[in-house]
């Protein structure tokens, strides 16, 4: 069961106040649900809409081209945000991740998800259990395809060195390495 144990405010690197909370979750699916809810909250902010629009304008995406929108946002996050491991685990807000320019896979997920949903691209949160342990989470955009089908576009921006447009599906990568994989999609 999700429980907030403590709340406080700190100053971020830019001197702006950042609301912090220490929370305890009963399970990984509960954590993934929390991330999905964070996307739902931040997608409605002016910050997410403005930032997402700035990214797709800079990438010169054609109107209504959700694949271009998704790849542009994924690439911008991959370029701007440095992956850092966290211990103990913390869940940053998307604006804080953008401002701090650092986060782990859950921070990348909520950032990309919020930006994309703010500009009309639906996103799923994909949790990966590898070798019996929950190890990774990433966002997956849903792009309209032929016949009304929604096609998944994986946006795991945590890896550098491989452009987001050329990145392999994280699930497929793990399976190709002989790992046992389970997923939870929200």
pLDDT tens track for 28-84: 899 999 999 999 999 999 999 999 999 999 999 999 999 999 999 999 999 999 999
For the chain, the average pLDDT equals 91
Q: Is 12 a domain residue? A: no
CA distance 52 to 88: 30
Looking at residue 32, its pLDDT comes to 94
**In which domain, by residue range, is 127 found?**
27-185
Whether the CB-CB separation of 42 and 52 falls below 8 Å is answered with no
CATH of residue 60's domain is 3.10.620.30
Left if phi > 0, otherwise alpha if psi is -120 to 50, otherwise beta: which for 23? Answer: beta
Q: Which residue has the tokens 């211990």?
A: 87
CA distance 138 to 145: 21
Looking at residue 17, its pLDDT comes to 80
Q: Is 46 a domain residue? A: yes
Q: Is 176 a domain residue? A: yes
Between 116 and 4, the more confident residue is 116
Looking at residue 162, its pLDDT comes to 85
Q: Is 18 a domain residue? A: no
Q: Is 20 a domain residue? A: no
What is Dmax (Cα atoms) for the chain?
A: 50
Between 26 and 143, the more confident residue is 143
Total structural domains within the chain: 1
Q: Is 3 a domain residue? A: no
Q: Is 110 a domain residue? A: yes
Q: Does 150 have pLDDT greater than 90?
A: yes
The average pLDDT across 124-152 equals 92
Looking at residue 1, its pLDDT comes to 67
Q: Is 82 a domain residue? A: yes
Q: How far apart are the first and last CA of the chain?
A: 18
Q: Does 171 have pLDDT greater than 70?
A: yes
Nearest to 38 by CA among 108, 101, 136: 108
């Amino acid at each position: 069961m999700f429980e907030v144990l403590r709340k406080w405010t700190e100053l971020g690197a830019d001197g702006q106040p950042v609301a912090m909370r220490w929370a305890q979750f009963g399970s990984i699916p509960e954590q993934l649900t929390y991330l999905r809810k964070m996307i739902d909250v931040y997608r409605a902010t002016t910050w997410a809409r403005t930032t997402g629009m700035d990214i797709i304008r800079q990438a010169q995406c054609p109107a209504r081209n959700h694949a271009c929108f998704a790849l542009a946002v994924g690439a911008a996050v991959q370029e701007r945000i440095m992956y850092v491991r966290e211990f103990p685990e913390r869940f940053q807000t998307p604006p804080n991740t953008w401002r701090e320019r650092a986060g782990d896979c859950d921070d990348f997920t909520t950032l990309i998800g919020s930006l994309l949903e703010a500009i009309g691209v639906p996103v799923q949160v994909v949790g990966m259990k590898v070798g019996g342990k929950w190890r990774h989470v990433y966002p997956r955009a849903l792009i309209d395809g032929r016949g009304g089908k929604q096609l998944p576009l994986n946006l795991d921006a945590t890896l550098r060195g491989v452009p987001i447009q050329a990145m392999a599906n994280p699930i497929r990568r793990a399976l190709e390495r002989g790992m046992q994989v389970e997923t939870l999609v929200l």
